Structure 1
Amino acid sequence: MGFAMRARQSGPPVAVGIDLGTSCCRIGLWRDGDVLIVPNERGCLATPNCVGFLDCTGPVVGDAAAEQAAVNLKNTIFAPQRLLGATYDSPWAQRLRLQGPPEIVKGEDDSALYSIQDRGKSRLMRPEEVLAVLLHEMKRQVEQCLGVTVKCAVCTVPSKYGQKQRKALTEALHKAQLEVLALVKAPTSAAIAFSLTNPIEGPRNVLVLDFGACYCDFCLLTLHGKCLYERAVGSEFVDLDSLLVRFCLTDIKLRLGIDMSSDWAALLRLSMACESAKRKLSQWNQTRVNVEALIQGSDYCVAMSRSYFEEFCSRDIDSLMEIFDICLVESGLERDAVDVVLVGGSSRIPRFRRLVKDFFRGQQPSELLRPDHAAVLGAAVYAAALAPPAPGNSGKEDSEGEKRPGPTEPDSTPSTRAGVGTGMVGTGSGGGNPGIYSFDGLRLEEILPWSVLLETSSAPAPEDLEHLLDVPCNEAFGPRPPRESFVKRPSQSYPVTQ
């Protein structure tokens, strides 16, 4: 898995895979027998989900937007996808509104809108409009880097997304001039990448745990050949960054007697420092949360050991094992009958890895070489499988005689099997080893209803589940309510066949 900066040249239309994570997004495509993750203008494979609106120029996105956020907080939006499909009165929108700028107001249709200043003019923007700015910039970077025309995309979504959120995301992709091939749940997309890089004959059950910045999404699948069957999915809100911020705010109040809970610019800088410290504690035994000129012009520094960090966030991490147990029990599977795959940045936390290993009776969890990129790898492969055939490639027929589209670029070998090269796991270039595993005719099918994990003590009516938005709750925001079992409902998933 690599990337290259090539001169701009004309080329055929291509399909891309987009991983729209909580904190960062990534974009990749199938090229020369491998998945190529395209870097942004800074050379990074991950772009922060951040859009900033300025007084004199157009909007900035990614790292540039995050860097100016502290001095332009009212016009900088982080992770706009969190408000997709939300009404103003929903608990999720109200929580984000109370977190500070940018201002969230009520629209004519009771939707939640961002109120910002764009080039000196006041604007009310829907979340999908803000997200379209970010998606359009990612699309432009691919076209500028590789000299191709991006026409269509497969995009990952959180497991908790309902039809209302999916519809809003589809609208954002259309505004970014992208045709939507499919919306795939993030852990399912990671399972595609895992199945292609770890081919095993015969059926097997796989539980993918996608532990990201704020959520732990999971998906239980049965893999059999080129078919992936979703059996259950779920999501749990686990915001460890907020726990660290809350610890630091308490430390500042006890040591200095200063309440910083309403200083939004300082909280943003402190949050970034806490996120950096969390990442370091996955590798080091001790680190520091260090922010210059945070408190009335004075620096703030506090030491943090890994053992102490794991102790005060143990409640949230340990409770995840209960959710996994519910998933397996209701699916009728034993722990030793499931292969476990860890993806997502927070899956590197040592305590989480130990708990998962102990929960599954000593079974060593599997993972891709770069768990952060697992979802975009699967999305890029699935985009290649669903994309219309390129000129001169009329497509292939599967075993049932149905016409299936070929990949976005013709295979370099005469074989009709398009292989995923070993470069997908970072061990070399994929062009020289075709046929490891065929993704021609790749299908995603669901044989059981989609399971949604509720945080409320009483289950809502079935008609209310379609637009369900979960309410985050952990130690940073209050006591955790009683947890109900899984609530089954028919899945409104992405299209399987064309």
Structure 2
Amino acid sequence: MEGIEKQDKFALGLDLGISQCRMAIFKGNKFEVIPNEQGNFQTPSYVAFTNDQILVGEAAKAQLLSNPMNTIYNFKRLIGKSYTELINHVSHYPFKIEQGIGDRPVIVICQNNEIKKFYPEEILSILLKDLRRQAEAYLGRKVKEIVVTIPVYYNKLQIAATIRSCYDAGFKVLRTIKESQAIALGIYHQNTNQNDRNLLIINLGGGSLDVAVITIQEQVFEVRSMYGDNNLGGVDFIEKLIDFVTHEFKRRNPGENISGNLRAREIIRVACEKSQEQLSIEREAVISCPNLMPGKDFEIKIERQMYENLCEDLTARCIPPIVIAIKDAGMGPKDVDEIVLVGDFTRTPMVQKMITQIFGGKYIRQHDLTSHFYACHGAALEAAVVQDISGSQHKNLLQLDATSRGLGLEVENGRMMIMIPRDSTFPCQKRHAFTTLVENQSDLDIKIYEGDNSWTSDNIYLGKFTLGQLQLSQGGSVKVEVVFDVDGNRNLTVTAINTHTGQQLKARITPDWLEKVNQQEKKMPTGANGIKIYQEFKQEVAQMAIQTESMQALENVEMT
């Protein structure tokens, strides 16, 4: 790694996937994907607890069937969410997930006959620490700074939780980059001569569906629109197969119940994952479950058409995000120059058929072996750009990012007033003047939300601050101007100004402030059964902290 050692500046590109993680560096106008200790270029997103150690990646995945209750996977889907949001999905995991303080999901494991609990962000941090260790071993130097990918439709809470996990793992996050943007950068580097085109990127991976329309002109990448579904991904397609196999086993074996058998469920899941891949290229597959029950194997043949029928509702859910993204970009299908399919589940014929029906004969960049690495390539290139080591070929590279959700505040009767709409290119700023509704009102709460719904109760609460000591005008009302400002790093600043007195108060909703708050730990009370929490954030991850400009303002910050 001589070339890297001579560079004064250095940063890693990390594609953080629900199923696999990939790391790369950019040097000498080339990408280098970093292999793990097994020599593979992607590491399974698995963490397992045995009696004497913690296993990560391939080692963790390899002992899944023998240790299902203590092998953690698909935890990226839990990041930044409340337990209530996940309640319909917790039964799909072999490990236990319970409701913690502040409605946070808590993962429960048993190690050395001791029950321990972890937040999903802590499990992610364990994975990230090991990735960092392996990168340092390969590169022969310390790795601190990274650019990390995030799903297109992640909200601010999920982004902040991801950044926090990176910091806990010893990384400094230079920038987060949307997966679709990273993919576009990775593709662009393959052929820098293809300019002036509109890309539609459809990323159906293990945990989410991300759709983005990106226009490339010269070296300018403009995100025209984004849409997605954080609750639609490959794991949902696999669940359809699992339910099918479980039902068929019960039908053929009356009186035998495998519903509560965690080992049996994982045997079925592994078999279904293999069969799903086979159904992408063949018209039928055999789902083989050896030793499903003691002394009993089970297998069943399934045709592709039956699989497509089982997943018909999931395939239908893919259509609205695609249509909405194109519409929000001010385009029609004819305006799309190239369709990029990324993620294993875009390989399935039913998904490709659906896309073909929408776009007809448009050129589709098919999923291939290299497409797995588009995102980590793009993250590595972005890391080099941030560090100003990308070379003359990329010195004018400019990315115009956009908000993935609306940002606004609560007005009368709990309604949402969107100040900065979804798909707004940032940096951006929006002002609006409000008049107090209650006569002789002495203070005003500014409640901040993220989302696109008409009611704030259906959006994501980011916190509030209070503009106090209002001096009343002659009519008993006060006019307050509110300013929403999103900077180039996606950070939101909200300012409230009393137009009569000039008094103003600012609140900055940033991952940095959330990190400071989270460093102040508090422990969950120890129960009679000896359950312990390893780490408790002072503020719940489901709450977004606000950085204010004065201690008086800080005291007025209120979270729910």
Give TM class, smaller chain: 0.7 to 0.9
Q: Counterpart in 2 of 1:117?
A: 110
- What secondary structure, in the 3-state scheme, does the structure 1 residue paired with 2:37 have? coil
1:413 counterpart residue number: none
Which position in structure 2 is the counterpart of 1:171? 164
User: How far apart are 1:272 and its partner, in Å?
Assistant: 1.2
- SS of match in other structure, 1:308: helix
8 Å CA contact 1:71, 1:265 repeated in 2: yes
| TM, length-normalised to structure 2 | 0.69
For 2:238, the aligned partner's letter is D
Give SS of 1:168's match: helix
1:240 and 2:237 matched: yes
What SS does the aligned partner of 2:278 have? Answer: helix
Classify 1:225/1:269 alpha carbon distance in 2 versus 1 (closer, same or farther; 3 Å).
same
Residue of 29, 48, 52 corresponding to 1:56: 52
Q: 1:10 to 1:385 in 2, by over 3 A?
A: closer
How does 1:335-374 map onto structure 2 within 5 Å?
335-338=333-336, 339-367=338-366, 369=368, 370-374=370-374
CA distance in 2, matches of 1:248, 1:254: 10
Q: 2:452·2:459 contact (CA, 8 Å) conserved in 1?
A: no
| 8 Å CA contact retained: 1:53, 1:119 | no
The Cα of 1:264 is off from its aligned counterpart by 1.6
Going from structure 1 to structure 2, the CA distance change for 1:54 and 1:10 (only over 3 Å counts) comes to farther
Deviation by residue 1:239-260 (Cα, 9 ceiling, x = unmatched): 2111111111121122222332
- The aligned residue for residue 385 of structure 2 is 385
Describe the superposition over 1:150-206 as per-residue Cα deviations: whole angstroms up to 9, x where unpaired. 121111112221111111111110111111011112122111112222334653221
**Which range moved further: 358-367 or 61-70?**
358-367
TM-superposed deviation, 1:118: 3.9
Instruction: Measure, in 2, the Cα distance between the counterparts of 1:490 and 1:196.
Output: 32
Match of 2:459, SS state, is helix
Task: Map 1:479-494; keep pairs closer than 5 Å.
Answer: 494=489
Q: Which residue of 2 aligns with 1:406?
A: 389
| Structure 2 counterpart of 1:465 | 460
Offset from partner CA, 1:303-352 (integer Å, 9 cap, x none): 12223322332332244234322322333211011121111111111222
In the superposition, relative to structure 1, how do residues 314 and 95 fare at CA in structure 2: closer, same or farther (>3 Å)? closer
Alignment match, 2:278: 280
CA gap of 1:463–1:281, structure 2 versus 1, over 3 A, is closer
Alpha-carbon contact 1:182-1:495 (below 8 Å) kept? no
Cα distance change, pair 126–492 in 1 and its aligned pair in 2 (3 A):
farther
Query: What is the SS of the residue equivalent to 2:362?
Result: coil
Aligned to 1:208: 201
Shift of 1:219: 0.9
Deviation for aligned residue 1:460: 4.1
In the TM superposition, 1:431-470 aligns within 5 A as: 438-446=393-401, 450=405, 459-461=454-456, 464-465=459-460
Contact 2:12 2:25 in 1 (8 A): yes
Does the 8 Å contact 1:231/1:450 carry over to 2?
Answer: no
Question: 1:295, CA displacement in angstroms?
Answer: 2.8
1:152-191 paired onto structure 2 within 5 Å: 152-191=145-184
Assess if the C-alpha contact under 8 Å between 2:24 and 2:380 holds in 1: yes
Mean Cα deviation higher: 120-129 or 137-146: 120-129
User: Structure 1: which amino acid aligns with 2:132?
Assistant: K
Distance 1:313 1:490, change over 3 A: farther
Deviates more, 1:129-138 or 1:249-258: 249-258
- Compared CA separation, residues 490 and 457, structure 1 to 2 (3 A): closer
Give CA-to-partner distance per residue, 1:347-389, whole Å, 9 cap, x none. 11122223212311211212474222221111111111112xx
Q: Structure 1: which amino acid aligns with 2:182?
A: S
One-letter amino acid of the structure 2 residue matched with residue 252 of structure 1: F
Percent identity over the alignment is 24
> Which residue identity lines up with residue 250 of structure 1 in the other structure?
H
Q: In 1, distance between residues paired with 2:332 and 2:116?
A: 54
Structure 1 172/318 Cα, relative in aligned 2: closer, same or farther at 3 Å? same
Partner of 1:259: 257
AA partner of residue 319 (structure 2): M
User: Which residue identity does 1:194 align to in structure 2?
Assistant: I
Q: Give how far 1:462 is off.
A: 8.0
1:91 aligned to 85, 94, 100, which one? 85
CA distance change for structure 1 residues 184 and 367 in 2, over 3 Å: closer, same or farther?
A: farther
Report the number of matched residues: 421
Farther-moved stretch of structure 1 (99-108 vs 342-351): 99-108
Q: Counterparts of 2:218 and 2:307 in 1: how far apart (Å)?
A: 42
Note the alpha carbon deviations across 1:38-73, whole angstroms, 9 max, x for none: 12222222211110111122x101111112222222
CA distance in 2, matches of 1:290, 1:268: 12
2:346 and 2:488 map into 1 onto residues whose CA distance is: 26
1:61 and 1:166 map into 2 onto residues whose CA distance is 23
* 1:198 to 1:68, Cα distance in 2 relative to 1, 3 A: same
Q: SS of the residue aligned with 2:22?
A: strand
The one-letter amino acid of 2:279's match is L
Residues in 1 aligned to 2:196 and 2:111: alpha-carbon distance in whole angstroms: 54
Which is worse superposed, 112-121 or 256-265? 112-121
Given that 2:144 and 2:172 are in contact with CA atoms closer than 8 Å, whether structure 1 keeps it comes out as yes
Whichever residue aligns with residue 443 of structure 1, its letter is: L
2:239 and 2:67 map into 1 onto residues whose CA distance is 22
Question: Gaps (5+ residues) in structure 2?
Answer: 407-421, 424-450, 463-483, 492-560
Q: Paired residue for 1:16?
A: 12
Whether the aligned pair in 2 keeps the contact of 1:61 and 1:134 (CA below 8 Å) is: yes
Q: 1:87 to 1:324 in 2, by over 3 A?
A: closer
Paired with 2:278 and 2:113, the residues of 1 have a C-alpha distance of 40
**AA aligned opposite 2:225:** A
**Separation of aligned partners in 2, 1:458 and 1:76:** 37
Select which of 23, 26, 45 maps to 1:27: 23
Which one has a bigger Cα radius of gyration?
A: 2
Aligned-partner residue type, residue 353 of structure 2: R
Partner secondary structure for residue 160 of structure 1: coil
SS at 1:149's partner residue?
Answer: coil
C-alpha separation in 2, matches of 1:490 and 1:263: 52
Distance 1:44 1:313 in 2: 32
Q: Aligned equivalents of 1:312 and 1:440: distance in 2?
A: 49
Residues 266, 441 of structure 1: alpha-carbon distance in 2 compared, 3 angstrom cutoff: farther
Instruction: Report the CA distance shift for 1:43/1:185 in structure 2 as closer, same or farther (over 3 A).
Output: same
SS across alignment from 1:251: helix
Q: Is contact 1:356-1:365 (8 Å) kept? A: no
Task: Give 3-state SS (helix, strand or coil) of 1:235's partner.
Answer: strand
Q: How does 1:295-310 map to 2 (within 5 A)?
A: 295-310=293-308
In 1, are the aligned partners of 2:47 and 2:71 still within 8 Å (CA)? Answer: yes
Distance 1:493 1:290 in 2: 51
User: Does the residue aligned with 2:65 lie in a helix, a strand or coil?
Assistant: helix
| Cα distance in 2, alignment partners of residues 267 and 491 from structure 1 | 46
TM-score (norm 1): 0.77
Partners of 2:326 and 2:246 in 1: CA distance = 39
Distance 2:325 2:197 in 1: 16
| Higher RCO structure (Cα 8 Å, ≥6 apart) | 1
